[in-house]
Every structure is written in C-alpha cells, then in structure tokens.
C-alpha cells in the first residue's frame, strides 16, 4: 500500500468475516487507522498492535469529532507521508460521508482509494433472511435516510416512497420510526405491508422485529431495540419466516400475511 495515500475502507456491518480481502490487507498494512463508532470491536481487534488508532466516531447529535476536523486530520496524515486507513462502518459511499472526505482529499490533491464494504442494507437483510428483491414481490430497492435535517424535519416526499413493488430500506431511522411510518401510511402505503427492524445486524448481538407497517413502531418500542438499526419495509419481509437462517438473539415475529 502506498504512502501518503488515504484508503477509505468499508468495514461492513459488523461480522469480521464480511470484510473484503482488500480491506483486511489494508488494515494489516496501515500505519494509522482512523475509525468510526460503527466499526465493530471484532474488526478493531484485527488492527495490528503498533498501528496508531484514532477514534473519530460520532454518536447521534453528539459529534465526537466534527467532519471538518476529520477531513483535516486525514489530509495532514497523508501529507506527512503516512499509510492511512479511514475505516468506516458498512460501505464508505453509502450514508457514510466517505464522499465528503474523498472530495476534501481530491480538492487538496491527496491520493485516495475507495474500498467498498457490505452496506447495512445488504448485511441486515441477508442475516435476517429478507431478500431485498424477489420475483413477484419486489422489482427494486430503495435506500433512504431517516435522519432529521437541521430543521428537525424529515424531508421525504412520502408519496414517491410508497411503491408496493419496491423494498424500502431506511438507515438511521430508529428514532424517527413513528414519523416514517405515519408519513408512509398517510401517503397510502398498505398498513398490512410486512416490515422489519434489524438491530446490530450480522453480529452475535443481532435482534430483529418483524411486524407490519401498522404495528412496527409499537413492536420495536416494546422490544426496546437500540441503534444501530435498519428498517426494511416491503412484501419481501414476509420471506423471513422461511429464510431466517441466522437467529442469535431474541427475535420478535408477528404473523405477517404474504401480499402479492
Ligand atoms: N456506511 C454505513 C451506514 C452509516 S449510517 C453502511 O453502509 O452501512 C449508520 C446507520 O447504518 C445506522 O443508523 C443503521 O441504520 C445502519 N447500520 C449500520 N450498521 C448496522 C448494523 N450492524 N445493524 C443494523 N443497522 C446498521
């Protein structure tokens, strides 16, 4: 791996076996690893002793390190000729702000490479037995954020998100789950649409709730699910009954009717 280069590396959703070969090689060869809150302990254990670790994690509404400081840190490390791995949960280019960091490096003519990782949608869906597309149930999939804008509003055109043939995956939506559900139902989504929330997907701490859009928010509150959690809404969720091969933790399953 090159000196003075920043590798923006996806660590996947948690299970260390889901790292790419390239990610593992880069982690093992780095001089400095700058990592996020969502990178699992099992993956951090793969960083060699002697490698400098810098935590740049962010908790919701509590910015441990502001984005411009992270950008400046990566720039300075690269300019100092270090081999830098910027390790991010999931995929760096999916709700990961990896593109902002890459833009900053590009603007300052610092070399970087992007190593894709398994994004939460792929990891959680696979480990909860929910295919994102399935013949006859979903012809497409859509990823959206449930994170509030600065004005504290969810800025979605709900009518455009209501589509019985498209699976909807919502990142960062646990806190706003009641608003998301209300927005979709008000815009005409069938309340019987199967829906799931997967917490700590792909790890031994995975827990998930299967319900319908009408009951999801209450069931998730009752089960006490915590972040990180990913919401999956669509007819494909009904397949979890039969495809649920990985169930390490407590699972709440409501009988869902297969639509379509
Ligand atoms: N770049 C990441 C997403 C970062 S945004 C990726 O590609 O996956 C953070 C959100 O990702 C969380 O709020 C949650 O919605 C989701 N997430 C990340 N890891 C997760 C996990 N192990 N289980 C469930 N959701 C997860």
Q: What is the CATH number of the domain that holds 148?
A: 3.30.950.10
Domain co-membership, 101 together with 126: no
pLDDT at 229: 98
Residue 214 has pLDDT above 80, yes or no: yes
Residue 258 is assigned to a structural domain of this protein: no
CATH of the domain at 14: 3.40.1010.10
* Ligand 1 touching residue 172 (CB < 6 A): yes
Q: Is the pTM of this model over 0.85?
A: yes
Greater confidence (252 vs 217) lies with 217
Site to probe by mutation for ligand 1, drawn from 15, 90, 172, 200 as the one with most ligand atoms within 8 Å of Cβ, is 90
Q: Are 28 and 134 in contact (CB under 8 A)?
A: no
pLDDT digits (tens, 9 = 90+) for 117-136: 999 999 999 999 999 999 99
If one counts the domains in the chain, the total is 2
Phi, psi (degrees; rounded to nearest 5) at 170: -120, 120
Q: How confident is the model at residue 155 (pLDDT cuts 50, 70, 90)?
A: confident
User: Which one of 99, 115, 131 terminates a domain?
Assistant: 115
> Which residues are the active-site residues?
36, 58
* Ligand 1 touching residue 89 (CB < 6 A): yes
Residue 182 is assigned to a structural domain of this protein: yes
Residue 97 is assigned to a structural domain of this protein: yes
pLDDT digits (tens, 9 = 90+) for 81-95: 999 999 999 999 999
* Ligand 1 touching residue 198 (CB < 6 A): yes
Domain co-membership, 232 together with 154: yes
Question: Closest Cα partner for 251 from 114, 132, 102, 128?
Answer: 128
Location of structure tokens 């700058």: 34
Mean pLDDT of 201-226: 96
Structural domain of 207:
120-251
d(C-alpha 228, C-alpha 206), whole Å: 10
In the chain, where does DSSP find H-type helix?
A: 21-29, 41-44, 67-79, 98-107, 120-127, 158-161, 177-186, 216-223, 240-243
């Amino acid at each position: 791996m090159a000196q003075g280069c920043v590798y923006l590396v996806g660590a996947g959703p948690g299970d260390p076996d889901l790292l790419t070969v390239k990610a593992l090689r880069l982690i093992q060869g780095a001089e400095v690893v700058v990592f996020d809150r969502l990178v699992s302990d099992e993956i951090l254990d793969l960083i060699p002793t002697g490698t400098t670790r810098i935590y740049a994690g962010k908790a919701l509404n509590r910015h441990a390190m502001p984005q411009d400081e992270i950008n400046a840190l990566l720039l300075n490390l690269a300019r100092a000729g270090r081999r830098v791995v910027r390790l991010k949960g999931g995929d760096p280019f999916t709700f990961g702000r990896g593109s902002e960091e890459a833009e900053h490096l590009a603007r300052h003519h610092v070399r970087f490479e992007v190593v894709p990782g398994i994004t939460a949608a792929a990891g959680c869906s696979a480990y909860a037995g929910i295919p994102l597309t399935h013949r006859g149930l979903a012809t497409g999939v859509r990823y959206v954020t449930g994170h509030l804008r600065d004005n504290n509003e969810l800025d979605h055109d709900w009518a455009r998100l209501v589509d019985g043939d498209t699976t909807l995956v919502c990142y960062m939506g646990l806190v706003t789950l009641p608003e998301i559900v209300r927005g979709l139902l008000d815009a005409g989504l069938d309340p019987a649409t199967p829906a799931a929330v997967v917490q700590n997907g792909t790890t031994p701490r995975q827990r998930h709730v299967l319900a319908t859009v009408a009951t999801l928010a209450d069931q998730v509150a009752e089960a006490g699910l915590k972040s990180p959690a990913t919401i999956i809404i669509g007819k494909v969720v009904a397949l979890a009954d039969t495809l649920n091969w990985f169930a390490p933790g407590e699972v709440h399953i409501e009988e869902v009717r297969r639509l379509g």
